């Protein structure tokens, strides 16, 4: 398999070209491209760098069929060579915090004082989330998914952001049926689109963008 990556599009070009893709060609994604996509996805920022995402790449035919059924038989999951399931672990940080702090220190990003502060502040903040316990890690996962969509576009691939699926069934597919700490943020099929999609356009900015206060 070729390790050659296509010349990437610039970020503005990738943003402008990205379109929701409902049907993919069967062409597989080269291994080197997939590896690059994963690295760019998890380069996303997250609250306190806790990286709550747990990303499952579904490509196995039987799993893909089950995921398609969980997504109301939407054709993009059925046809994409791989669908990224963005799950989150609501309490994963409890197990990974020390590793996160150690990495930040080793890379010189955080000094001893910052580490000591984080060691107290992070558990305090996380425990104060209460009814936002799902919302906060899901925000992080959606940022990572946005990285993936733009990275894919930049490398000549296409994507679809997806809310249309049944959470319990998606959890079953990824082997998390009985785990109450796992929530599903988003599904994102990735592949080479068949080009049969248009630009749905946007509302006029006067309705959605304001200076200083809502209009
Ligand atoms: C969070 C989110 C969830 C979405 N869920 C679905 C979905 O389940 N199925 C689908 O066909 N499109 C889905 N879409 C795609 C939107 O319909 C699409 O982004 C919108 O029409 C704008 O088109 P564009 O992505 O080509 O700019 C979703 C988009 C977002 C951002």
Model confidence pLDDT, tens digit, residues 101-160: 999 999 999 999 999 999 999 999 999 999 999 999 999 999 999 999 999 999 999 999
The protein residue with its alpha carbon nearest to ligand 1, atom 11, reads: 22
- Is 160 touching ligand 1 by the criterion CB < 6 Å? yes
Atom of ligand 1 nearest to the CA of 19: 26
pLDDT tens by residue, 17-51: 999 999 999 999 999 999 999 999 999 999 999 99
Do 88 and 182 touch, CB atoms closer than 8 A? yes
What does residue 88 show for φ and ψ, rounded to 5 degrees? -130, 150
The DSSP code for 10 is P
- Is 161 touching ligand 1 by the criterion CB < 6 Å? yes
Residue 44, pLDDT score: 98
Residue 4, pLDDT score: 61
What does residue 184 show for φ and ψ, rounded to 5 degrees? -105, 125
- Look over the chain and give the mean of its residue pLDDT values, rounded to a whole number: 96
pLDDT-derived band at 1 (thresholds 50, 70, 90) equals: very low
Please give the model's pTM, rounded to 2 decimal places: 0.96
3-state SS class at 160: coil
């Amino acid at each position: 398999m070729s390790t050659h990556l296509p010349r990437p599009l610039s970020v503005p070009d990738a943003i402008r070209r990205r379109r929701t893709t409902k049907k993919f060609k069967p062409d597989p994604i080269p291994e080197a491209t997939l590896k690059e996509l994963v690295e760019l996805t998890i380069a996303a920022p997250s609250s306190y760098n806790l990286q709550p995402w747990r990303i499952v790449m579904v490509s196995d035919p039987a799993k893909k069929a089950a995921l398609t059924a969980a997504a109301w038989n939407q054709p993009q999951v059925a046809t994409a060579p791989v669908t990224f399931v963005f799950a989150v672990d609501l309490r994963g940080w409890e197990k990974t915090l020390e590793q996160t702090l150690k990495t930040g220190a080793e890379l010189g990003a955080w000094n001893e004082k910052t580490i000591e502060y984080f060691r107290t502040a992070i558990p305090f903040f996380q425990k104060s989330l209460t009814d936002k316990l799902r919302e906060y890690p899901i925000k992080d996962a959606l940022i990572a998914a946005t990285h993936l969509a733009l990275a894919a576009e930049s490398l000549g691939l296409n994507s679809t952001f997806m809310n249309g699926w049944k959470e319990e069934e998606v959890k079953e597919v990824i082997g998390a049926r009985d785990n109450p700490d796992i929530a599903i943020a988003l599904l994102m099929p990735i592949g080479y689109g068949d080009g049969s999609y248009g630009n749905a356009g946007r509302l006029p900015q006067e309705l959605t963008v304001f200076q200083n206060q809502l209009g």
